[in-house]
Amino acid sequence: MPNFNAKEQKAALAKARERLNSSGTAKQMGFEIAQLDRGRVLLRMRVKQHHKQALGVVHGGVLAALADTAGGLASHTAAPHSRVVTIEMKINYLEGVPHGTVTADARVVRIGKHIAVVDCDLRDDTRLVAKALMSFYVGPFSEQSSGGRR
């Protein structure tokens, strides 16, 4: 997948930030765009107390939300005029994350007419902590779907 040129990069980053800021989950969790290109997005989250479960590490659902959001944005950069909706997600949790920063590196593996497959590595400050594989529907907006836009 070819990278954005400088003008495309600026427009895509502005659009991605707008999409991220319109997501209640992303705002509540503190997800931030660290890097963006066509078919690839890095999102970061600084670990806070409200991210943690009873054992003092980041809740798996928070890591899944970070991966899902990064994957959706990566799919959207590969098909910018399309509606992108998660179909399926598989995640392996490898290490607990008690503090620091978690980065989700989502890369579109393949995008077809209606399906995008995305691979996502989640890392803390030093190691791989989770691995996700996701599928997204990629298609046109419709009046019926506008309420569930992502």
Confidence at residue 150, expressed as pLDDT on a 0 to 100 scale: 44
Length reported for the chain: 150
Cα torsion 84, 86, 87, 92: sign: positive
Confidence at residue 133, expressed as pLDDT on a 0 to 100 scale: 98
Taking the C-alpha atoms of residue 74 and residue 76, their distance in angstroms, rounded to an integer, is: 5
DSSP assigned state of 56: S
pLDDT of the chain, 150 residues: tens digit per residue: 778 877 887 888 788 888 888 888 888 899 999 999 999 999 999 999 999 999 999 999 999 999 999 999 999 999 988 899 999 999 999 999 999 999 999 999 999 999 999 999 999 999 999 999 999 999 987 755 545 544
Which domains are present in the chain?
Answer: 6-148 (3.10.129.10)
Confidence at residue 143, expressed as pLDDT on a 0 to 100 scale: 55
Burial class (CB in 10 A: 0-12, 13-18, 19+), 6: exposed
Closest CA to 117 of 89, 136, 90, 138: 136
Confidence at residue 17, expressed as pLDDT on a 0 to 100 scale: 81
Confidence at residue 149, expressed as pLDDT on a 0 to 100 scale: 46
